Structure 1
Amino acid sequence: MAVENKFITTEELRKHNKPDDLWIAIQGKVYNVTNWSKEHPGGDIPLLNLAGQDVTDAFIAFHPGSAWQYLDKLFTGYHVKDFQISEVSKDYRKLVSEFAKAGLFEKKGHGVIYSLCFVALMLFTCVYGVLYSDNFWIHMLCGGLLGFSWIQVAYLGHDSGHYQAMMTRGCNRVAQILIGNCLTGISIAWWKWTHNAHHIACNSLDYDPDLQHLPVFAVSSRLFHSLTSVFYGRKLTFDPLARFFVSYQHLTFYPVMVVARFNLYLQTFLLLFSKRKVPDRALNIVGILVFWTWFPLLVSFLPNWTERVLFVLASFCVTSIQHVQFCLNHFAANVYVGPPKGNDWFEKQAGGTIDISCVSWMDWFYGGLQFQLEHHLFPRMPRCQLRKVSPFVRELCKKHDLPYRSLSFYEANVQTIKTLRDAALQARDLTNPVLKNLLWEAVNTHG
């Protein structure tokens, strides 16, 4: 005897959006993920951000076909009565299916091996130059090489975090700790925590942690209203100090990027030693301790404190190129306030990202992230395939009248600085401004 389907409406589904009552729908079928959210490999934040909604597109983007078999045990027995699929979603899902049949999610190429060899060569050269040369400029070059190796290591960590870059899941997990924690001092657990939230809520001012940089930066005047960060669970206070910093953010952007790595170290420690549940906390802490053993030891072999400080600054200056790149991909794109929605996945990713155009032989330099929209739409796709799928994404955006922004590195910098300057000028024009001083007057006088 056939079992009669039970139905609920979209409005009824929306009521199940709390940590202790968390339902989602996938292709019209409703699942109770309240308990599963605590075990979800991607953390509970993606599920909480999309709670009470149909999340089909996000599920397809982040999960391989093998993940569908695990849904049955979470099925509530309900279907969404007024379930509808937009034309954009239909086309997006068709693309995913075609790319999967072509094996584009599985063909990783040899990029990982090449990158690992390149990183090993740079690290060896850096250590050799520090230990066996007395030349100041050799030491500075070694600092730059170390910074460049961190950039390439970060791309490898990014790859392994999104898909299985190594042969097995266990090797992938070990690689994450080694190349993330041990080599860079930045916890893979912290990266996953923030990065998954960023992908789900791309460019939401109150849900995306990658846009929440007060009191130093504000990419939109909407942040002047002291929004509450849902991710951090605290208010992003726009006080006189924040207003002062934001008023000069277009001037301080590049200097801040040079020292941005200090903030990443701080964020790593704050998470690993917090009360929050952290996957593999012990392994992450051990990895961080490895970094804070070898890095200070390497610096200590330099002859004096002047060279030690300049060596660290040289490495940070080179790495700042990558920090700038991360900002170029999103700071000048569209922003919004509020939670992400499951039914406009493609639209939000297209609106919130900017690609960096470059010739194919420079793909290694950008680590695949120059195809930012393609990466956001297909986060499981190896970077070596992103250039191939770019024309299809561009065509789909054109078909549905959605933005597809691809700027040169220079143009993206110009647009980012313009965005920061526009917000800076708005911060200065607010009523009841902060107390002015000579620096304030000097900057305002010269525009």
Structure 2
Amino acid sequence: MGLPTKSLWTREKVAERILEGDTLFILHNNVVRVSQSWLNAHPGGTISILHFIGRDATDEVEAYHSQETLKRMKGFVVGQIDIGEDGWDPLLPPFHTGWVRKIQDGQLRWHQESKPEYSTENSEESPSSQILLLPKQDADATASGPSRAQIQPAPAPLSLKIQTQHSKAYKELHKRVTASGLYDTPFLTGYGPEVVRYLLCAISSYLAYQRQWFFVSAVCLGALWHQLVFFVHDLGHLGVTHDWTKDRFLSIILADWIGGLSVGWWVHNHNVHHIVTNHPTHDPDIQHLPFFAITPAFFKSLYSSYYKREMTFDRFSHYMIAVQHRLFYVIISLARFNLYRLSYEHLFRMRNEPIKAKGGRWAYWLEIAGLVFWWYWYTGVLRGCGSWQKGLMYLLVSNMVPSPLHVQIVLSHYSRSTADLGPVESFPHRQLRTTMDVICHPSVAFLHGGLHLQVTHHLFPRLPRHNLLRASYLVKEFAKEQGLEYAEFGFVAGNGEVCSTLKGVADQLKIMGIVADAEIKEALEAKRQ
């Protein structure tokens, strides 16, 4: 718990305590200290907190947490600050320059797991504030932790005063959304029709299988998985019952036992994606080498702060990125197989982790049991097809039918900015800059699960998905008043934007190859002379 005294802290004091190892962030006018036990037990994962050390996290904290949780946070307040009219002048989280705290010799010590590369340009794609992480080759024996200079942000192309204005306006918008009752879950009108749709898909798949219409059965099973993902998405954001235990239990049954995917992995991954959307180093949802690169920054073999590994841009990556715009839909159609891999890797890494959420480790073991059950019934379905050819067909079709979901997710972000504008950037500015909506007719909205309204979802992640349309009108009004872009494209136009982005990166790679070949040729000719 926090200290009883609530003295007035200066920015310098916050910086000193961070360098000493304290995990501090700003919530309204308060300095909140996150204990190591809280950091370990945070249901949203450790990384999501590390991104806000030294920053004003008020908008993000209130967007992702219930009022009950916010009240509990008051017990962790250790001081107060004077934010001022222009807002809190943020510090740069040590995590953004590769620093983390690890247990060494029985004590928590600073450890630099990667090295920062600061932008030498000041372009729209690589502003002066941009920091990318590269693999750290050699340990620096002289460095015992981050320096004061390393947690001082580089000059940003944004005005702190204007970003504070956006933040204040967003807080008012959040009050309007709450007062409008948009956090109330429409169980009957929203989920009623969906439950009917789930049952129709499941029953149709079963009946078709019994009649040995294996292709039809596989299509219906894939459709069921496709639709259930949207429900699991809501549960993962605590957007259904708004109770962690209830929502997590339901999501495990649907995701693990029926769908074969780990909801624990998805929540851990998805929370980070929401916080650092489209950041090449930090957002796992755009880290898809060797198959996709949406910015030339990936040519540098960046370090992923989420996966804790180098994203190597090797010869195979070079070949795949050169043709990524041509293979996009082929690869996306098989994306679900990669989700299985990520699910199992996550659960394996978590096997010895401390308790990650209230209720203990029951959720972890329920997931393990669910995946064992899924493998049992799904492999039985495949064997029951009668031949390996029919089983392979069933496997591919059932896993490819949900692929429009992956296309939709890609549309929402791939064509948007990947620049790092520094910790000065406000929550609403970042989400509007990196996210777009997919326009569709209400009659086919169920195919998108309501998540075609990604801009509003990113601003209000706990909002029940069936209320996103009503909330989007308020968000559009907010964006217009603040002079911010609210990006939205039709499905076809959105696909065109994504393919154009992929082709643009592929073309830059080609140009780099031409330049490199010319330089080699010039060097060889000079050597002959």
TM-score for both structures, normalised by structure 1: 0.90
Q: Which of 75-84 and 352-361 deviates more?
A: 75-84
- TM-superposed deviation, 1:41: 1.8
- TM-superposed deviation, 1:149: 0.7
What is aligned with 1:265? 340
The 5-angstrom pairing of residues 23-62 of structure 1 reads 23-35=24-36, 36-62=38-64
The 5-angstrom pairing of residues 348-367 of structure 1 reads 348-367=430-449
What is aligned with 1:96? 174
- TM-superposed deviation, 1:163: 1.9
What is aligned with 1:317? 400
Secondary structure of the 2:24 match is strand
Taking the aligned partners of 1:294 and 1:393, their CA distance within structure 2 comes to: 44
Q: Which of 106-115 and 360-369 deviates more?
A: 106-115
- AA in 1 matched with 2:40: K
Given the alignment, which residue of 170, 184, 190 partners 1:106? 184
What is aligned with 2:81? 79
Secondary structure of the 2:54 match is coil
Task: Note closer, same or farther for the CA distance 1:21–1:370 as it changes in structure 2 (3 Å cut).
Answer: same
- TM-superposed deviation, 1:72: 2.0
Question: How many residues are aligned here?
Answer: 428
- TM-superposed deviation, 1:5: 5.8
What is aligned with 1:69? 71
Task: Note closer, same or farther for the CA distance 1:430–1:12 as it changes in structure 2 (3 Å cut).
Answer: farther
- AA in 1 matched with 2:46: D
- AA in 2 matched with 1:382: P
Gaps of 5+ in 1: 436-447
Does structure 2 conserve the Cα–Cα contact (< 8 Å) formed by 1:206 and 1:337?
no
- TM-superposed deviation, 1:67: 2.2
Does structure 1 conserve the Cα–Cα contact (< 8 Å) formed by 2:6 and 2:78?
no
- AA in 2 matched with 1:350: L
- TM-superposed deviation, 1:320: 0.9
Question: Within the alignment, does 1:386 sit opposite 2:386 as a pair?
Answer: no
Secondary structure of the 1:244 match is helix
1:388-444 Cα offsets, whole Å, 9 max, x none, are 111221122122222211111111111111101100111122248999xxxxxxxxx
- TM-superposed deviation, 1:116: 2.5
Task: Note closer, same or farther for the CA distance 1:108–1:9 as it changes in structure 2 (3 Å cut).
Answer: farther
1:104-155 Cα offsets, whole Å, 9 max, x none, are 1123342223323321221121122112x14xxx321221111111111110
Secondary structure of the 2:404 match is helix
Secondary structure of the 2:349 match is coil
Secondary structure of the 1:204 match is coil
Secondary structure of the 2:280 match is coil
TM-score for both structures, normalised by structure 2: 0.76
What is aligned with 2:207? 128
What is aligned with 2:487? 405
Q: Which of 353-362 and 182-191 deviates more?
A: 353-362
The 5-angstrom pairing of residues 327-342 of structure 1 reads 327-337=410-420, 341=423
The 5-angstrom pairing of residues 265-304 of structure 1 reads 265-274=340-349, 277=353, 279=356, 280-304=363-387
- TM-superposed deviation, 1:324: 0.9
RMSD over equivalenced CA pairs, Å = 2.3
- TM-superposed deviation, 1:239: 2.0
Secondary structure of the 1:76 match is strand
- TM-superposed deviation, 1:377: 0.3
Q: Which of 407-416 and 309-318 deviates more?
A: 309-318
1:34-81 Cα offsets, whole Å, 9 max, x none, are 322112221111101111111011011111222221122201123245
Does structure 2 conserve the Cα–Cα contact (< 8 Å) formed by 1:150 and 1:319?
yes
Gaps of 5+ in 2: 88-163, 357-362, 518-529
Task: Note closer, same or farther for the CA distance 1:82–1:150 as it changes in structure 2 (3 Å cut).
Answer: same
Given the alignment, which residue of 211, 227, 237 partners 1:162? 237
Does structure 1 conserve the Cα–Cα contact (< 8 Å) formed by 2:60 and 2:427?
yes
Question: Within the alignment, does 1:306 sit opposite 2:389 as a pair?
Answer: yes
- AA in 2 matched with 1:98: R
- Whichever structure has more helix as a proportion of its residues is 1
Task: Note closer, same or farther for the CA distance 1:342–1:122 as it changes in structure 2 (3 Å cut).
Answer: farther
What is aligned with 1:347? 429
- TM-superposed deviation, 1:220: 0.5
